Copies of this chain bind each other. A is one copy, B any other.
């Protein structure tokens, strides 16, 4: 009954246009939603976040080089013709072209990185009971679609390292950046108290970054910038205690850059006193100094980071930026067996279609991502005993972004790939020529990484080599400026760069 009413209310949202439901508001979801022709499609974004986070600027916002909102683009604006529901996709019913959404307007964690499965440890029965309750409470509702675009992205991978999930900082969203900024400043403020010992000061101002990818390196560089440019003047007596260390399990950092550029970064960091410890393995992160045992959660000044090769050391903050884990949505909603009408899917390869097959979503063993064809359509595998299982493509269901992998490719899980797939798909849907075209191909535009002190690495696409230094920095900032979607931020970002260059970064916390 309640469900029926809800369903009826939804009719109101129906229009003659085809409804395209987009799950997620990251690089893929936000780009495709804005790319769809509003005259042809009703784009409906479903996401726990009310905005798109412009991830390349997160490191800058986490130290106050930029204000948080300069890295945010609200999904709802005066101009965009995109409908939005704030919630999590909970179930997908391919047969009736319907998804079940759990509303999440008050979701506490809405602006922070997904780390752990939301329904972690919940048995199927438990989960079912909870959902029953939520149906009564009206927390769940159904939404029908003509086309479904899944761009739910990935969670942060902690490899089960004890304490990391609870005590480390992540850097995937604006809420993460805010937590980091407040923590850095709180560490210095605490170190400035007369009640703090020099030993505690050393530990409070000891910052560890785990993961030597672009995010970890750029954050270390930005952290070094704020310490040398601002905090050194504001807390002159404390700077001698501060230390930045980057840990990585691999032999080298920035693997996506060629040797020369990576070396340039290492040399720069060495000169600036940022330690890079490759071949190091983090074993644990716990609250309290190495020599104390803390009981209550808030009863500690610092944390203890246990490194296999370095023992236990006291740190003020650990920023964790390594590894992606598959979004639980894939396991909960997609991977199990589905009943799919014949006319919703087309068979691939040499196999006769008995028509009454049950289907599973095709999952890539290595990455756990959802496999799509070259037109970004969801791939299905028949649930049969045969060795060579029949495969099929599900029409009207597309998967892109970090949670998807296109068959026959090894494209990296980057914003660039996600955004290119999204623009390609939007164009195809607008033109209605997805069948006629040759499928998606990624154009490698190269990679960039800020390495501090107005310097950046810039690696061209393909084997065009790369540049580094001041020029790269200018290109880097320029690229962000033009990429940074809205005009509001095109104006605000240079204003903040100028103001913080003139007056220094704001160090107040709230």
A: residues with CB less than 8 A from B are 6, 9-10, 13, 50-51, 67-69, 72-78, 84-87, 103, 105-106, 110-111, 138-141, 143, 173-175, 178, 185-186, 189-190, 192-196, 230, 233-235, 298, 486-488, 491-492, 495, 499, 502-504, 506-510
Residues of chain B contacted by A508 (CB below 8 angstroms): 50-51, 69, 72-75
The contact of A499 among B73, B84, B488, by CB within 8 Å, is: B488
Give the shortest distance, in Å, between A430 (CB) and chain B (any CB): 24
Residues of chain B contacted by A235 (CB below 8 angstroms): 76
Cβ contact within 8 Å between B194 and A51: no
Q: Measured between alpha carbons, how far is A492 from B488 in the docked complex, in Å?
A: 13
Cβ contact within 8 Å between A74 and B194: no
Cβ contact within 8 Å between B510 and A175: yes
Give the shortest distance, in Å, between A149 (CB) and chain B (any CB): 20
Residues of chain B contacted by A194 (CB below 8 angstroms): 6, 9-10, 13, 85, 141, 143
Residue of B nearest to A500 (CB): B488
Residues of chain B contacted by A85 (CB below 8 angstroms): 192-194
A105-B189 contact, Cβ under 8 Å, with A499-B492, A510-B178: yes
Q: Measured between alpha carbons, how far is A499 from B486 in the docked complex, in Å?
A: 11
Q: Measured between alpha carbons, how far is A335 from B268 in the docked complex, in Å?
A: 59
Cβ contact within 8 Å between A195 and B141: yes
Cβ contact within 8 Å between A189 and B50: yes
The contact of A111 among B50, B502, B510, by CB within 8 Å, is: B510
A50-B507 contact, Cβ under 8 Å, with A193-B141, A234-B76: yes
Residues of chain B contacted by A185 (CB below 8 angstroms): 50
Cβ contact within 8 Å between A491 and B486: no
Give the shortest distance, in Å, between A282 (CB) and chain B (any CB): 25
Q: Measured between alpha carbons, how far is A138 from B186 in the docked complex, in Å?
A: 17
Given contacts A68-B510, A78-B503, A86-B189, 19 further A-B pairs with CB under 8 A are A50-B507, A50-B508, A50-B509, A51-B510, A74-B507, A78-B233, A78-B504, A84-B192, A85-B193, A86-B193, A105-B190, A111-B509, A111-B510, A141-B195, A143-B194, A174-B510, A488-B506, A491-B499, A492-B495
Residues of chain B contacted by A178 (CB below 8 angstroms): 510
Residues of chain B contacted by A10 (CB below 8 angstroms): 194
Q: Measured between alpha carbons, how far is A87 from B78 in the docked complex, in Å?
A: 43
Q: Measured between alpha carbons, how far is A299 from B86 in the docked complex, in Å?
A: 18
Cβ contact within 8 Å between B506 and A69: yes
Cβ contact within 8 Å between A186 and B510: no
Give the shortest distance, in Å, between A440 (CB) and chain B (any CB): 30
A510-B106 contact, Cβ under 8 Å, with A189-B86, A195-B141: no
Q: Measured between alpha carbons, how far is A339 from B503 in the docked complex, in Å?
A: 47
A105-B193 contact, Cβ under 8 Å, with A234-B76, A491-B499, A499-B491: yes
Cβ contact within 8 Å between A69 and B67: yes
Residues of chain B contacted by A68 (CB below 8 angstroms): 510
Most-contacted residue by chain B among A51, A192, A193, A508 (CB, 10 A): A508
Most-contacted residue by chain B among A193, A502, A510 (CB, 10 A): A510
Residues of chain B contacted by A51 (CB below 8 angstroms): 508-510
Residue of B nearest to A69 (CB): B506
Q: Measured between alpha carbons, how far is A138 from B75 in the docked complex, in Å?
A: 47
Cβ contact within 8 Å between A110 and B74: no
Q: List 22 A-B contacts (CB under 8 A).
A: A50-B185, A67-B69, A69-B506, A69-B508, A74-B508, A76-B507, A77-B504, A77-B507, A103-B190, A105-B189, A106-B186, A106-B190, A106-B298, A138-B196, A139-B195, A140-B195, A141-B193, A143-B194, A486-B503, A488-B502, A488-B503, A492-B495
Q: Measured between alpha carbons, how far is A495 from B298 in the docked complex, in Å?
A: 40
